[in-house]
Amino acid sequence: MRLHRRHLLAGLAGLALPREALAAEQTRFPVEIAARRISAFEPRSPDRRRFGALQFRGGLVLSCHHPRFGGFSALWRSADGRDLVSLTDRGYWLTAKIASDKGRPVGLDAAEMAAMLDAAGRPLARSRSFDTESLAIVGGQAYVGVERTHEILRFDWAREGVEARARSLPVPAALKKLPRNRGLEALGIVPAGAHKGAIVAISERSGKEDEPTLGALLGQGAPAFFQVARPGGYDITDLGFLPGGDMLLLERWYRPLRGAGMRIRRIALADLKAGALLDGPVLIEADLGCEIDNMEGLSVHQENGRTILTLISDDNFSIIQRTLLLEFELV
């Protein structure tokens, strides 16, 4: 979801898109992405690497002149960490190879963007289902959560990649009733335990400012609902699973006079069940004193026995925000 003070800028940016960008909706096209390295997560303490339970490995400020670049709201990396897939909240895929140097990201190679396609092969960007916010790729299938219309779409990623067409999955009525712009921001597939293979879908914020938000376990018979506590007024923006099954929640807050912040919590696999109120320890918490922006995407993969977390930010297509790619190791 876009931060409130960015709505006007984001809207104007959309109206200003040139004709050549609109013509590119049904094609896949290469993009040249410039990357400026972030050497310190907290600039005022440049030698500090440890932040809570995470160690900062490096980061990038990404920029591109193509008008479709930006608004990245979800993230996936392959098992070896080499391949990256993201999606924008305007219905576009981004694929790229991550270039690294001594274990730190230095750039994106072979980057392409493509319009996400509906079941008939038409761009989602031209439909009510344009607001794609969450992503999980498991077993060769890509699952995408759509805000506003509160849908879950499946794409045959292994066979067709960005040319795959969406197939709509059943969504219970309780999720269809979510607030229009506070829908399925977090999506994942449980990797272990009693609910292995189930889809976890969590709303950004289903109720009032201080209330828990709604989540559901789907795809294993009748849907099972749970709540996620929101201490500190954070909204849910993404989730990822550790190999053992514990869930990581990426969260974000925004206040007009205070700026923005992010947090990652760890939720025990055993707690993920119908009727639960989920909460767990904080792994990292940061505000604008660190190199963050509107952090919306989270991916988890293994590298030589190490657990690597990668985050991406949604710049809302605004000239006063940034697209950041941050990499941490779970210590």
pLDDT tens for each residue of 201-232: 999 999 988 899 999 999 999 999 999 999 99
Order of strands, sheet of 213-218, starting from the edge strand that comes earlier in the sequence: 184-189, 199-203, 213-218, 224-228, 277-278
35 is a domain residue = no
Q: Which residues pair with 155 in a beta bridge?
A: 142
Residue type, 143: Y
Q: What is the CATH number of the domain that holds 124?
A: 2.115.10
34 is a domain residue = no
33 is a domain residue = no
**Tens digit of each residue's pLDDT (9 = 90 or more) over 18-39:** 444 444 454 799 999 999 999 9
Query: Average pLDDT of 132-141?
Result: 98
Q: Is 176 helix (H, G, I), strand (E, B) or coil?
A: helix
| Distance, CA of 196 to CA of 173 (rounded, Å) | 23
Q: Please, how many CA atoms are within 13 Å of residue 250, restricted to the half-sphere of its CB? A: 28
Closest Cα partner for 318 from 262, 265, 260, 245? 260
**With contact defined as beta carbons under 8 Å apart, do 310 and 77 qualify?**
yes
Round the average pLDDT of the chain to a whole number and report it: 92
| Distance, CA of 328 to CA of 146 (rounded, Å) | 27
**With contact defined as beta carbons under 8 Å apart, do 77 and 100 qualify?**
no
Is the pLDDT higher at 8 or at 108? 108
Query: Average pLDDT of 44-66?
Result: 98
pLDDT above 90 for 168: yes
- Bridge-based pairing state of the strands 247-255 and 83-88: unpaired
38 is a domain residue = no
Whose structure tokens read 């505000």? 287
184 is a domain residue = yes
Query: Average pLDDT of 122-140?
Result: 96
Instruction: Report residue 1's pLDDT band, with 50, 70 and 90 as the boundaries.
Output: low
| Distance, CA of 296 to CA of 73 (rounded, Å) | 5
157 is a domain residue = yes
**With contact defined as beta carbons under 8 Å apart, do 250 and 260 qualify?**
no
Please name the helix (run of DSSP H) or strand (run of DSSP E) that holds residue 216, with its range, or none: strand 213-218
Whose structure tokens read 């969590």? 202
**With contact defined as beta carbons under 8 Å apart, do 184 and 202 qualify?**
yes
Domain of 120 in residue numbering reads as: 4-24+50-162+171-330
289 is a domain residue = yes
pLDDT at 137: 98
Enter the pTM of the model. Answer: 0.92
Angle at 260 between CA 255 and CA 266, to 5 degrees: 115
236 is a domain residue = yes
Q: How many domains does the chain have?
A: 1
Q: Is 161 helix (H, G, I), strand (E, B) or coil?
A: helix
